[in-house]
Amino acid sequence: MRIYEFSRKHNVPSKEILHFLQNAGFDIKSHMSVLNQKAIDLLLGHVKEMPTTAKKKVAQKKVSPVVKKSPKKQAVVSEEFPKPIADIYQEVPKEPIAHPKEIIIESMSLADFAQRTEKPVNELIVTLLKMGIVATKNQILLKDVVARLAEQLGISTAKPRVEKAPTFKDIEVKEGVFKERPPVVVVLGHVDHGKTTLLDYIRKTKVAAKEKGGITQHLGAYEVKVKQGNIIFLDTPGHEAFYKIRGRGVGVADIAVLIIAADDGVMPQTVEAINHAKVAGIPIVVAINKVDKVEASRVDVVKQSLVQYDLLPEEWGGDVIVVPISAKFGQGVDHLFEMIVLQSQLMELKAEISGLAKGYVLESKPEKGLGPVATLICQHGRLKIGDYFVCGKTGGRVNSLIDSFSKKIKEVGPYIPVQVAGFDALAEVGDLFEVVSKEEYRKTKSRAVERKPVLLVEGALNLLIKADTNSSKEALLGAIAKLGRKLEKEFNIIYAGVGDVTESDVVLAANTGASIFAFYVKLEHNALLLTQRYAVTIQTFDVIYKLLESLEEFVEKHKKVKKVLVKVGEAVVRKVFDIKGIGVIAGCYVREGRFSRDGTVVIWRGKQKIGSGSIKSLQRERRPVKEVHAGFECGFLVDDFTDWAIDDRVECFLKIPESQKKS
């Protein structure tokens, strides 16, 4: 019998049993530990003295919240996968440094470089020319060029300062009325391993069927009511482009449920998810999914593969709970819920319920009829209709609250996901949300989010990105930057926004020569007409990997093909015609190869080169032709050359792609 089974049978809290046996000298680790007969006999003799679950009450008094202890061992994140801890950091460029002997290494215009280093623009232009770089005053210098130019001028450089951005777990409340709260569980795993299917089964909806391409592309937050109690689930996308969203979900959660398909095993995003959870210091519960499709032995194979990632199952002497399930048919799901609730009970999760709401933005987007909205989880306090708030660079007043079940509510407590309307502007994902007084809100109202000025980078492909949510936009920008490094082609994002493609987006794209890539959004009717009028390229997508594939094709299409001059033919001059009003025509016999109307020629008299030029007219039998092959006569005019003589030798050259040149 395991501890949780004894707890359920005798109506005694699992943690009371744990404490009792540990004090009695038993080596007990968790509620999944197996009790031997000696421990059972000891418990049966003292069970009447232990408090029962029914009698357990939480005191409504001012106490300090329980602070989770950091794990003893800090997990090392593999360099092969994005580091989740990077999600809570951001590069904050310093103000321009007044001292001319140091400059921050970042992309900037040549004029900015001159201002920051107190160097004349003309001097910088000359220095760049000596380096083989042609630049104008307003041209953008990339980071490597800035570094090289600074080195050339003897100016020391510095990297942008990295500052820690506030996170969800930085919200601290020391006083107030604390009450037990539901656990927040983040569901992680590789693409198509069954994360959304599990939540689909739980919520009795068809979420998975509605996902484009069969993958989750947004962070979904759901309050789920099960017989073991309420649980807040966060569903995360598995595609590699959404690693920041997964990291954000882990940063909010108390427990990570790692979904692994039994027929597939541990995959790249599985390993990344393990690293996310370990760095965040939250316990992992492993759910081996799709057991209905495989033999029972596959479960042990998956368990063995987990050991190399320092996840030892409890039945093998470790502390990781492993539950075989079938998300499709519900097999083992109730047992998974029970393990989650028991794990959360040991953590003694509490939240302050009496103060002003403080929380975190999980997702944001424009909503028709509501304006900018955001999905929030408040860590403390209660959020009500009419509350004024500040959130990052924006703020507003709550005029609508919608819960996980799409019901309008008047107020919400901590750790319950809710969609909030009433924002003055679109909030950024990851922004901290805080209810404030009306006066304090008015002080911050002027800090509206503005569209940044457009910077054009020479030689780069200009793109305008529109996405349905801020998280999607963030994922796209990261994926495009990664693709640019892979293809060795720079993408210049002239603007990235959230919402449908508008007329102003098309005008901006037309003025900057940009192509529009739209993800999960619509194209307004008038905007569509403008794309046709201005010949603006626009592509729309529902699945992120299809957008990235199209972008690769887009790059290939716009690659500048390197061409080389190749000799394609040779002729000898037999007659010369000086025709008034037309010019001097060379009548030739093609001895080898061919002569083309698009070619250039080199003229030889004996062993001496006497001229060259482009063919501007090619005729055969007094008719214009594109080319003339060996064995035929022709006549042609050449730009800037008229001094023809009989027996001159003429070579014809064409520019062809280097890849087509025969070795």
The model's pLDDT over 316-358, given as tens digits with 9 standing for 90+, comes to: 888 899 999 999 999 999 999 999 998 998 888 988 888 899 9
CA–CA dist 152, 141 (Å, integer): 15
Token representation of residue 506? 């098309």
> For position 106, what pLDDT does the model report?
81
Same domain, 204 and 278: yes
Same domain, 437 and 469: no
Mean pLDDT within 349-371? 87
> For position 246, what pLDDT does the model report?
59
Beta carbons of 394 and 434 less than 8 angstroms apart: no
Token representation of residue 281? 């210091």
> Which of 327, 351, 375 finishes a domain?
351
**237 band by pLDDT with thresholds 50, 70 and 90:** low
Task: State the chain's mean pLDDT as an integer.
Answer: 80
CA–CA dist 118, 167 (Å, integer): 38
> Which of 393, 412, 444 finishes a domain?
444
Please report, for the domain that includes residue 366, its CATH number.
2.40.30.10
Q: pLDDT for 552-599, tens place per residue?
A: 888 777 666 778 889 999 999 999 999 888 899 999 999 999 999 999
> If 0-12 CB within 10 Å is exposed, 13-18 middle and 19+ buried, where does residue 5 land?
middle
> For position 355, what pLDDT does the model report?
87
pLDDT at 179 over 60: yes
Same domain, 250 and 294: yes
Q: Is 137 a domain residue? A: yes
| Tally of domains within the chain | 6
> If 0-12 CB within 10 Å is exposed, 13-18 middle and 19+ buried, where does residue 624 land?
exposed
Same domain, 230 and 325: yes
Contacts 24+ apart (CB under 8 A), 149-155: 149/113, 149/124, 150/103, 150/105, 150/117, 152/127, 153/117, 153/119, 153/127, 155/100, 155/101, 155/102, 155/103, 155/117
Look at the block and give the residue holding tokens 């690693």: 243
Token representation of residue 437? 């007084």
pLDDT at 48 over 60: yes
CA–CA dist 325, 307 (Å, integer): 20
Beta carbons of 167 and 86 less than 8 angstroms apart: no
> Which of 500, 527, 557 finishes a domain?
557
Distances (CA, A) of 358 to 174, 272, 336, 361, 535: 13, 29, 30, 10, 48
Of 87-91, 125-129, 359-363, 626-630, give the range with the top mean pLDDT.
626-630
CA–CA dist 100, 102 (Å, integer): 6
Report the relative pairing of strands 461-467 and 491-498 from DSSP bridges. Answer: parallel
Please report, for the domain that includes residue 228, its CATH number.
3.40.50.300
Beta carbons of 625 and 597 less than 8 angstroms apart: yes
pLDDT at 64 over 60: no
Strands (E), 4-80: none
> For position 313, what pLDDT does the model report?
92
29-33, 280-284, 339-343, 473-477: segment of lowest average pLDDT? 29-33
> For position 69, what pLDDT does the model report?
41
Q: Which domain holds residue 391?
A: 353-444
> For position 449, what pLDDT does the model report?
45
> For position 662, what pLDDT does the model report?
60
pLDDT at 622 over 90: no
CA–CA dist 614, 650 (Å, integer): 12
Q: Is 370 a domain residue? A: yes
Mean pLDDT within 652-659? 85
Instruction: Give the DSSP H or E segment for 623.
Output: strand 623-624
pTM flag (> 0.75): no
Beta carbons of 167 and 362 less than 8 angstroms apart: no
Same domain, 638 and 505: no
Q: pLDDT for 10-26, tens place per residue?
A: 888 888 888 888 888 88
Same domain, 194 and 303: yes
Same domain, 572 and 641: yes
- In sequence order, which residues have a C-beta less than 8 Å from that of residue 530 and are 6 or more positions away? 503, 506, 507, 510, 536
> For position 176, what pLDDT does the model report?
76
pLDDT at 292 over 70: yes
Report the relative pairing of strands 608-620 and 563-579 from DSSP bridges. Answer: unpaired
CA–CA dist 82, 415 (Å, integer): 28
Same domain, 552 and 572: no
Q: pLDDT for 443-491, tens place per residue?
A: 877 554 444 545 555 667 889 999 988 888 888 888 888 888 777 667 8
The pair phi, psi for residue 473, each rounded to 5°, is -60, -45
